[in-house]
Structures are given as structure tokens and as C-alpha cells.
Amino acid sequence: MWDDPTSTEGPKERDTLVLNYTMTCPLKCDFCCYGCHPKRSEKMPLEHAIRLVNEASEIPSITCLGLTGGEPLWYWAEVSELMRAACNVKLPFTIATAAPWAENPNEASSRIEFMVNNGIRRANISCDPSHEEFVSRKAVERAATLFVESGIETHVVGTFKTEETMHEYFKNFPTSPLLTIHSRFVAKVGRATKWDNAIESTDINSLACYRRINHDLVVFYDGMAYPCCSTFNRATPGIAIGNAFSEPLKIIWSRVEGSLKFRMMKREGFGRVYEIIKARDPALFAKLPPVDGCQGPCSFCNKIFKSKELTDEINQFFSNYEIEKINDLFHHVEGKYGTEKMKKLIANYIGE
């Protein structure tokens, strides 16, 4: 973190605490990964959210807060208080929004001015034909323009069913050095499981978590925590890492940072995971699902870890593998330096 939380200059995010604040959304997009709509009422209690922000500020590697949903700005009175709390502990924030609030020019200006004054680092705005059924493109353009005029890095993200629509949709969108347009194909999760797109990746060696080193520590409205921002996370119980309403955030963060399984999935990729399991436990390898039919690493991760039984077996495998590697290290140190030196090194490492 840096001294001025309202500055847009500073280090890029390392780890990020992402609060999926609510499932309420004034939209009802036909591909929504979480099935959000106006009548859903799930929302994180504000006191929990502020506590998590304060705890995050005490973890040195967490350098940013992400606010998403649902439509997180639907509960503006609460979320603006949360932004102010983040600013008070010098934790910059980002937002993911569909910008329905920008239909009103005065409200758009007022909200963006507040966010700029309280440390927003980046704005991510959804815009595509599905979103445009509920939020006008003019509102999105207004929000994006106001953000970039305020010096805020802005990303407009469109999700599409066909390549043709993807290439045509943003042709006349405003441009700016601070504005980046992202077009992607829909992920087959949530309401989009019925969509029949044919963009698939079948090379397992190309699949790894998108954040290779750092983590998006995602906490949902009910406290359930996940190690990534995947749209499949709620549909993948095998990657859940605890509940941030009943455990300190630092414990949950340590659970991700210290996991050999997550580290290998992120840094070496799923091909390496399968390779090691195949070499060391052929019976377990035979139970692993094929990569065929997966669009990317997130859908493949879901295919593996949606099964509790398979997850338990994989977790046990990595636990045994890690113990074996630690023992190998001890034997190496002992052989090179002797037993007493090894004991002193271990005692010094664990602080005894």
C-alpha cells in the first residue's frame, strides 16, 4: 500500500480481498453466473464487511479491495460507507458494476466524484447485448467517460455468444488511453449452462489459474471464502477455503498461501497436477476427469473439484506428497550439515 489511498499512482495489486457484497441486481442477464436478479435479497452485513476491510489492511500482501456482486452499488448508502472505511485504512478499491446508476447524469457524477475522493483504483463496467436489455449503452458510456476524465483506469467488459457479435459491438465506443475494452465468450455456468457455444480448449498444458502468483481472496455475502474470482467458484465446493464470518481473515489467507495444491494449480498449471498424480497414484489419476469440453482453467477446475469425494482424495494426495517432500528436505539438510545443525535450523525457522 502507499500513503495516499486516493492516488491512482502506486504499486499494482498483489493479493486482493474481493467482497461479493450482494446477489441483488436490477438486471437479469441471460448468462449471469450467479443467477442474480432484482428479487434476490442476499447481502453481506455491513459490519462484517468493514471488519474484513480492517483485517485485510493488517495483511501486508493484500493491497486492494474489490467490490462486486450482483450489483454492489445498488446498496449505495452501505457501500459508500465501506469505501470510506477502506480509505481510512489506506486500502484502495476497485468496483465491478453494470452502471444502472449512471442513467441519471447527476447521480453518475456524484457517485464517481465520491469514489475518486475515497480511493478507487479501477472501474470495471459490464456492457454487452444482454446487459443492454436493462442498462442503456449511453449510461455505460457516461460512466466510463466520467471515470477516465477523473484519471481512473477503466475497463469495459462484454460477454458474447458469437464471435461476430463480439467484433461488432464496441466499434463506436469512446476511446481513451485509460479505457480498455475486453470481449470474451460466455462461461457455461449459472444461467449460461443452456448456452451452446463451441469455443473450447483441450490442451491441458495451457491451463493454469489466471493469477499465477497472487490471490483474489473472495468472500461472499454469507462469509464463504474462495481463493479466486472464477465465475465457477460457488459451483465448485472443493475449492472453498472456510468462512470469513467465523474465522479471522488471516487464517483463511494463510490457508490459500500455504496450499501446495493451489500453488501448483496457479504457478505450474493443471497439466503438472495431472502429471504428478499420474506418476504417483495411477488409481487416483484414473478418476480424474478429462479436459475435453472445457473452455478454460476455471471450467476445468470446476469439473475436477465439484465432487467432494474426488476433492478429498486429491487433498489427501497433496498432503502426503507435501510431507514426503519436507522429509526429503530434512534428510538432505541432515546429510549435509548433521543432525544438530538441522535441528537448530528448524528451531530458528519456527521461532523457538
Q: What is the mean pLDDT of residues 103-126?
A: 97
**Which of the two residues, 32 and 268, has the higher pLDDT score?**
268
Q: Cell 494449480: give the residue.
A: 265
pLDDT of residue 36: 82
Of the listed ranges 74-83, 109-118, 327-336, the one predicted with least confidence: 327-336
pLDDT of residue 6: 38
Q: Specify whether the CB–CB gap between 146 and 109 falls below 8 A.
A: yes
Q: Specify whether the CB–CB gap between 33 and 187 falls below 8 A.
A: yes
> Smallest Cα–Cα separation from 264: which of 297, 286, 303, 229?
297
Of the listed ranges 84-93, 139-148, 218-227, 323-332, the one predicted with least confidence: 323-332
Report pTM.
0.86
Quick: pLDDT tens for 268-288.
999 999 999 999 999 999 999
Whole-number average pLDDT of the chain: 88
Sign of the Cα pseudo-torsion (125, 300, 313, 277, in order) = negative
**Which of the two residues, 202 and 74, has the higher pLDDT score?**
74
Which CATH number applies to 15-199: 2.40.420.20, 3.30.420.40, 3.10.105.10, 3.20.20.70? 3.20.20.70
> Smallest Cα–Cα separation from 301: which of 166, 191, 224, 211?
211
Considering the chain, what percentage of its residues have pLDDT values greater than 90? 62
> Smallest Cα–Cα separation from 207: which of 140, 289, 121, 311?
289
Domain boundaries, the chain: 15-199, 260-337
E-strand ranges in the chain read: 15-22, 62-69, 93-97, 120-126, 153-160, 179-185, 216-220, 225-226
